[in-house]
Amino acid sequence: MSQPAAPPDDAGLLKVFRAHPDTARPLLGLHQRIMRGPSPFTAAERELMAAYVSGLNDCAYCHRVHTATAEALSVPAGAVTAALTDLATAPVGDRLRPVLRYLRVLTLTPARVTGEDTEAVLAAGWDERALHDAVMVCALFNFMNRMVHGLGVRADQSSVTASANRLHRHGYSGIAALLGP
């Protein structure tokens, strides 16, 4: 079997979504619900989780876009990088730290998630709804990271900035609106 052709330099995610609106629309609807719908987590915290999971997966595109979006939504600059480098000292708050530890295990070694991992999240003051929402963010971005890698999606800094601004201002439904009728 031959390898697919190398993607063009401007192979951004919006271009993929526009080429495949039949799968993009429901996927963006799921994004909107998970990332912006009602949740014990703020939109900023969910974007931080998305950036963190994407960083663990070495998905530069998603990591950069969602780090910039998280920062636009009030996450301190450098917090995502700090969490990836040393979660114990990262400026993410003591309550969010066990959630990110949980997401690390779920992303890198999913079969090794234990009751202790779950209990640490609950002991930090989160409820089972919060745990569910964190798992959904993690699952969504593990999916997206593989999609982005598999399709060769990438972007220059101006595209990253534009994507982050769009997510900050309009959420994921704003991307769906760009797909047309």
**152 DSSP assignment:** T
pLDDT digits (tens, 9 = 90+) for 2-58: 445 545 555 689 999 999 999 999 999 999 999 999 999 999 999 999 999 999 999
Question: What pLDDT, on the 0 to 100 scale, is given for residue 2?
Answer: 45
Question: Is position 120 within any domain?
Answer: yes
Q: Report the range of poorest mean pLDDT among 8-17, 55-64, 159-168.
A: 8-17
Who contacts 19 (Cβ-Cβ below 8 Å, separation ≥6)? none
CA dist 133 and 115 (Å) reads 17
Who contacts 75 (Cβ-Cβ below 8 Å, separation ≥6)? 44, 45, 47, 48
Structurally, how many domains does the chain consist of?
1
Residue 64 clears pLDDT 90, i.e. is over it: yes
Question: Is position 113 within any domain?
Answer: yes
Question: Is position 7 within any domain?
Answer: no
Please give the residue range of the domain that contains residue 73: 13-177
Of residues 104 and 4, more confidence is placed in: 104
Question: Is position 8 within any domain?
Answer: no
Residue 80 · residue 130 · CB < 8 Å: no
Q: Report the range of poorest mean pLDDT among 3-7, 84-88, 92-96, 113-117.
A: 3-7
State the CATH number of the domain containing residue 27.
Answer: 1.20.1290.10
Average pLDDT of the chain, as a whole number: 93
